C-alpha cells in the first residue's frame, strides 16, 4: 500500500463515527502487538521514545534518533503510523519543512504538532503557529501525501490564564485557527472532564483528540460525547516502567520471583511479534 493511501486511511479513521484508540508505542514490538490485536493504526509517543533511550522529552533526544525509531516502527507494521514530532525540532520555517520532509521519508503518515515550548508553559502566538502548520501542509502536498496533522493546543497547560473558562476560549480559538490553516484534527491536551469536552465538541467542527489519564472521561463516555480519537502519551511506557522498578526493589529485598514469573510471556509468545532473520 502506498504512503498516500495509508494517510487517507488514517484520515478516514478520524471520521467514521468510531473512537480511534491509539495506545502510543515507543518500539516496533509494541507496534506489532497492536496490529496483531486489530488496532487499525499506530501512534508513537515522543516522551516514551526519549525516556526509553534515557533522555527527557522536549526535543532533548536527537532528531536523527527520533526519526530512526519512527522509521523502525513504520517498517514493522502494515497499518498507518502517526508520529509525535513535538514542535518539529526547528523554530525556523525552512528548518521545520526540512524536518517534515525527513519525517515523511520514514513512511509516517500522521504527525502530532505542538504549539508551545518550555514544557508547554508558553504558547506560540496564533499567527506564528498558523504559518508553521501551513508550512507542514505545503511539504506534504508537494510530496503528494495527505499527511494527517494533529494540531496540539496547549492552553490547558500554559501559564497566563486566570480561569478555566479563559483556557477553554483560547483552546477553541487556537483549534479553529489551526484547522483553517490545514490541520485535520485538534488536540486540546489536558482537556479531560465531560463538561469541558462537551463544550469543545460543540464549538470545534472537526475531529478532536483527547489524552487519556486518570481524570479523563471513560472510553465509552468519549465515544458518546463524539470525541474522535484518544491517545495515551507516555503513560503506558511509564506504567510498565513502574513494574520494572518494583521488580528491582523485590530483588534488593531478597524477595520472591513471583513478580517476574507470574503472567510472563514465553519465548514463543514473544516470537510471533518478531521478524525472522537478521537486521
Domain with residue 143: its CATH number is: 3.20.20.60
How many folded domains does the chain comprise? 1
Domain that holds residue 132: 3-234
Cβ(63)–Cβ(83) below 8 Å? no
How much is the pLDDT for 117? 83
Residue bearing cell 484534527: 185
The answer to whether position 249 is within a domain reads: no
Task: For the chain, give the number of residues.
Answer: 279
Say if 129 falls within a structural domain.
yes
* Domain contains 50: yes
SS3 145: coil
97-110 per-residue burial string, b: 16 or more CB within 10 A, e: under 16: bebbebbbebbbbb
Asked whether the beta carbons of 132 and 100 are under 8 A apart, the reply is: no
- The crossing angle, in degrees rounded to 10, of helices 194-203 and 164-181 is 40
Q: Would you state the pLDDT for residue 78?
A: 97
Domain membership flag for residue 241 = no
DSSP string, 51-115: HHTT--TTT-S-HHHHHHHHHHHHHH-SS-EEEE-TT-S-SSHHHHHHHHHHHHHTT--EEEE--
pLDDT in tens, 82-110: 999 999 999 999 999 999 999 999 999 99
| Closest to 184 measured CA to CA, from 19, 41, 14 | 14
Round to whole Å and give the CA distance between 250 and 126. 50
Per-residue pLDDT tens for 170-223? 999 999 999 999 999 999 999 999 999 999 999 999 999 999 999 999 999 999
Specify the pLDDT at position 47.
97
Who contacts 71 (Cβ-Cβ below 8 Å, separation ≥6)? 105, 106, 107
Residue 105 lies in a domain: yes
Q: So what's the pLDDT on residue 39? A: 98
Q: Is residue 251 part of a domain?
A: no
CA angle, 173 then 179 then 185, to 5°? 110
Paired strand residues for 187: 152
Q: Is residue 206 part of a domain?
A: yes
| Helix, strand, or coil (residue 191) | coil
Residue ranges of the chain with per-residue pLDDT less than 50: none
pLDDT of residue 13: 98
| Average model confidence (pLDDT) across the chain | 96
Query: Which residue is listed with cell 493504526?
Result: 41
pTM here is 0.95
CA dist 248 and 148 (Å) reads 41
Say how far apart CA 260 and CA 258 lie, in whole Å.
Answer: 5
Amino acid at each position: 500500500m502506498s504512503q498516500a493511501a495509508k494517510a487517507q486511511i488514517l484520515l478516514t479513521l478520524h471520521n467514521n463515527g468510531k473512537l480511534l484508540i491509539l495506545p502510543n508505542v515507543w518500539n516496533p514490538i509494541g507496534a506489532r502487538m497492536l496490529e496483531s490485536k486489530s488496532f487499525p493504526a499506530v501512534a508513537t509517543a515522543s516522551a516514551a521514545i526519549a525516556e526509553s533511550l534515557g533522555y527527557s522529552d522536549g526535543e532533548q533526544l536527537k532528531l536523527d534518533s527520533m526519526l530512526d525509531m519512527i522509521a523502525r516502527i513504520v517498517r514493522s507494521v502494515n497499518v498507518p503510523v502517526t508520529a509525535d514530532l513535538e514542535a518539529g525540532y526547528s523554530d525556523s520555517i525552512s528548518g521545520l519543512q526540512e524536518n517534515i520532509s525527513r519525517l515523511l521519508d520514514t513512511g509516517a503518515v500522521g504527525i502530532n504538532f505542538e504549539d508551545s515550548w518550555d514544557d508547554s508553559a508558553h504558547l506560540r502566538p496564533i499567527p506564528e503557529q498558523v504559518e508553521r502548520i501551513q508550512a507542514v501542509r505545503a511539504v506534504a502536498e508537494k510530496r503528494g501525501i495527505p499527511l494527517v496533522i494533529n494540531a496540539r493546543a496547549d492552553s490547558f497547560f500554559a501559564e497566563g490564564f486566570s480561569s478555566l473558562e479563559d483556557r477553554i476560549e483560547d483552546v477553541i480559538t487556537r483549534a479553529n485557527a489551526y484547522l483553517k490553516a490545514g490541520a485535520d484534527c485538534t488536540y486540546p491536551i489536558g482537556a479531560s472532564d465531560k463538561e469541558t469536552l462537551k463544550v469543545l465538541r460543540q464549538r470545534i467542527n472537526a475531529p478532536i483528540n483527547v489524552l487519556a489519564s486518570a481524570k479523563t472521561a471513560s472510553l465509552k463516555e468519549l465515544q458518546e460525547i463524539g470525541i474522535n480519537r484518544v491517545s495515551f502519551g507516555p503513560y503506558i511506557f511509564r506504567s510498565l516502567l513502574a513494574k520494572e522498578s518494583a521488580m528491582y526493589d523485590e530483588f534488593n529485598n531478597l524477595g520472591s520471583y513471583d513478580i517476574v514469573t507470574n503472567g510472563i510471556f514465553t519465548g514463543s509468545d514473544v516470537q510471533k511479534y518478531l521478524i525472522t532473520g537478521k537486521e
